[in-house]
Chain A
Amino acid sequence: MLPVPDFDAATAYPEVGVLRAALAAGDWPAVRRLWDSLDWAGRGELAHAAGDVERPGETEHLVTVLRAALQADAADPAAGALLGRHLIAAAWRIRSGARAQYVSGDRFARFHAELRRAEEVLIEATARNPGNVTAWQARVTIARGLQVGLAEARRRYDKAARIDPHHLDTELSYQQMVCPKWDGSWELLHAFSRERMLAAPEGALNAVLVPVAHLEHWLELSEEEDTAYLRSKAVRDEIYEAAHRSVWHPAFRRTIGWVYVTNVFAGIFSLLEDQRAAAGQFAALGPLASRFPWSYIGRDEGETFMWRRSMAINGAAK
């Protein structure tokens, strides 16, 4: 019996569980100890977790704890970054994830107002700690929603890159900005993705940018063209090159972010109908699942994950 996909980040990364417990208990010193013990990738994961808090009651509690921490020390890097990221995620939930033309005017106004609140928190956070990569990464995401332009998003990206040149979360945020659906183009998107893959050390997670870019491109094409695009030799070659530089590289490690990366490769191998390669990724994952890329491939992320996994296992057995 294959395991049911588990989307909870805490299953893969115990740090997230520690964060949740500390926040629930309002134990700020514990949050800070955790934050200080992690690298920027780990802190980014904590920020994700703060963004994922969406249940009524829990949200208010989280904001209270974070505001209190800022009250005690306005320069607390963890509190500023986590609050900023939480407010951004809350704003994006207002926008409902739908594409711009389907979002009503009133919702849009509220979305922008919430993003401005987040930006205010993050302007202060980055002013007080110019090296706060997590806060800069959040500001790259906001740049998209507040439409301050590609060049300004790049400035924010560069601020983060100056501290951590291979911060995958920031690269993924900026990558969204260079998509044609925001301020970029296919040329910019693929060039940026490839450039960042090659800049990172071999075996690093960053090569995932290349398949993510192709998934973005694939999603925009009509049903008649998308499969042909993905299976064209040039695109295939790039995807396999990216796999060789990351998930298939001997130096690949299961550091924070690996679950996302492995899910992306599982998804794109499945779309390429390379079931053997997909099965390898699914086997590595076990139950560990991320929302992306399954949200792009099917209606329900869990069902899509299971369906694609069974296809992979059956296909690989042939």
Chain B
Amino acid sequence: MTIKRTDIDGVPTVIAPKDGPVAAGLVFRVGRADEPLARAGITHLIEHLALHGLGLTDYHYNGATSPLTTTFHLEGTEGDVVTFLNGVCAALADLPTDRMAVEKEILRTEAAGRAGLAEPLAIWRYGARGFGTIGYPEYGLSAFTPDDLRAWVARYFTRENAMLWIAGEGVPAGLRLALPDGGSRMPVPAVTSALPVTPAFFCGPSDRAVAYEAIVPRSTAAGVYAGVLERMLFRALRQEGGYSYQVGAEYAPRDGSHATVVAVADALPEKHDPMLGEFVDVLAAVRYGVIDPADVAAVVTKTEAGMSGADRDARRLHSVVHNDLLGYRNLEAEELRAELRAVTPADVARIAGEAHATALLMVPDGRGADWAGFTAAPTESEEAVTGRRHPLLADRSQALILGPDGVSLQGSRSLVTVRYAETALMLAWPDGARRLIGHDAVIAHVEPGLFAVDAAALTLIDAAVPAELRVDLPAREPGEIPRPPSRLRRARRRAGRALAVAANRSANAIDGISPTIRWLARAGLIYVGIRLVMLLFSPIPKSITVPAVVVWLLVLLLLSRTGPRALRWARDRFSRLAR
């Protein structure tokens, strides 16, 4: 084996030879999945603060916070490695917390540029804890104090919870890793679930993309499965169907035992249905083993090509460290290659079958996948809490329910419940608004201005939610605070609704009249009309005859085909008023 193992100041270290500049990575077993939602962003902020003091240098360095690990990485001379890692360790020991406010702003900017598919998939699968946390904004940013940061460092950024890799000749002279002691190798967070049934689907935020995510046991063959799936999807969706531009599938280790496979394809709205249909058919073909052996061979060849060359072990170092930190086996390059070559189409089909049983499919908004055997992921709660009902001012059939166990929002056709015992986070605004996010990712947003509720009742919520789950946010602009509709607007709405109902009923009633009666009525009306014309020439005052003619015309119109049509048009107008 060309990967050497040693340790530096108690930090396990792996080394492999590489030409050119030296590269090194100090990796900690901590990431976004370890953070409670109310502290989301703490690891990322620490990573930024640890790098801040290093300033601009000639060598290339970077930091990365992933779901389970945090890495400080650089490429340069041996001297650069020593300077960089010494600097990182020193900064971790004494965080420049005076920089907190600035770095928080940088993180907010960084977050604004991010909008991927991983986020909704994480939330729908895992809820608001563990691996689901990565789907949310870094909600903790405005909450934590310097002490919170120091406590997090003491727990996770320790000698025992770190590993180092070096791609170069050996350990650079003078390299020390002065990290805090007293920690331990941290276990990966528990896998939570917000999906009662799989395969499941949900309507995603994208109007373009379909994403299929599955969880598979980590293996060489599972990586090949992702590659084969990508080739088959690309051929069917892009080359043959012409539905999609972007098509891809990826295998990524999730933890020590399982990996995530995500396949993605896009399409224009008018091509959504056939794209989804073709996607479903390709998934079925892989699962049922209708796989061209040439596809498997192509993926194996491509993967192998990435595993060759003089620095092949140096390129593997990061994943070797990852595997060690997460508790996954590490094989020699030759062993990996042998495993890879042994993968058959039957292996790929078997994995596809296992994958499908765990699948989560994101479809464009307004689409469904129940026809293809996917169950709709739950979008609301099954039951409301017991407690006091505070009606919505604009529509008393809807209400906020405040109970000793939690909060429910009862809409006209929806129900959301967040129980205090299952709350992941509460956002609090100075104007009294509260947003509770449950472990199952259900959101209960309480706007005091919209419900018949007083401040005293709302203090129930604050009292019930533990302080560590609360994040206070700055005051909102007055225009951002919802207010109940004015009395006039409510009256207008009520009138609009009543008129719309009346118009609709009349239209239906007229449609319901049998043709015979309609013809009789028309005949009668024509008779009345003739009498009216005669009246017009008689000495009876016009003040009676003109309204009579108008009424006569109206009734005639209503009984004709245009009558119901006009009424329905009026109904639509009135319903607009009622909005």
Contact = CB atoms under 8 A, between A and B. Distances in A.
Interface of A: 74, 115-116, 119-120, 123-124, 126-128, 130, 142, 146, 148-152, 154-156
Which 6 pairs across A and B sit closest by C-beta, in order of nearness? A149-B273, A127-B284, A152-B273, A155-B274, A146-B371, A152-B277
Contacts of B241: 155
Interface string B408-435: 0000000000000000000000000000
A119 B371 contact: yes
Contacts of A149: 272-274
Contact of A152 (B274, B285, B290, B370): B274
A155 B290 contact: no
Contact of B288 (A74, A150, A152): A74
A152 B373 contact: no
A123 B270 contact: no
Nearest to B287: A127
Contact of A151 (B273, B285, B290, B372): B273
Contact of A127 (B270, B276, B285, B371): B285
B278 A127 contact: no
Interface in B486-522: none
17 contacts: A116-B370, A116-B373, A123-B280, A123-B373, A126-B284, A127-B281, A127-B284, A127-B285, A127-B290, A128-B288, A128-B290, A146-B371, A149-B272, A152-B273, A154-B274, A155-B273, A155-B274
A123 B199 CA distance: 15
Interface in B318-355: none
Contact of B274 (A127, A142, A151): A151
B271 interface: yes
A130 B280 CA distance: 13
A148 B273 contact: yes
A10 to B, nearest CB: 34
B212 to A, nearest CB: 15
Nearest to B286: A127
Nearest to A145: B371
A156 B277 contact: yes
Main secondary structure of the interface of B (DSSP, over half): helix
Nearest to A150: B273
Interface of B: 241, 270-274, 276-278, 280-281, 284-285, 287-288, 290, 370-373
B271 A151 contact: yes
B236 to A, nearest CB: 10
Contacts of A148: 273, 277, 371
B284 A123 contact: yes
A55 B276 CA distance: 37
B281 A123 contact: yes
Interface centre among B241, B274, B287, B371 (most CB of A within 10 A): B371
Given A74-B288, A115-B371, A128-B288, 14 more contacts: A119-B372, A123-B284, A126-B281, A126-B284, A127-B288, A127-B290, A148-B273, A149-B272, A151-B273, A151-B274, A154-B274, A155-B273, A155-B277, A156-B277
A111 to B, nearest CB: 12
Contacts of B270: 151
A114 to B, nearest CB: 12
Contacts of A156: 277
Contacts of B280: 123
Given A149-B273, A152-B276, A155-B277, A124 B373 contact: no
B284 A124 contact: yes
Contacts of A130: 285, 290
A90 to B, nearest CB: 17
A146 B373 CA distance: 12
Nearest to A120: B373
B84 to A, nearest CB: 53
Contacts of A126: 281, 284
B372 A123 contact: yes
B70 to A, nearest CB: 43
A126 B372 CA distance: 13
A148 B372 CA distance: 10
Contacts of B290: 127-128, 130
A128 B289 CA distance: 8
A230 to B, nearest CB: 21
B372 A155 contact: no
A239 to B, nearest CB: 29
Interface centre among A116, A120, A151, A154 (most CB of B within 10 A): A151
Contacts of A151: 270-271, 273-274
Contacts of B272: 149
A122 to B, nearest CB: 10
A123 B277 CA distance: 10
A115 B277 CA distance: 16
A126 B373 CA distance: 15
Contacts of A146: 371
A150 B241 CA distance: 15
Interface centre among A74, A127, A128, A156 (most CB of B within 10 A): A127
A119 B277 CA distance: 12
Nearest to B370: A116
A7 B241 CA distance: 41
Interface centre among B277, B281, B288 (most CB of A within 10 A): B277
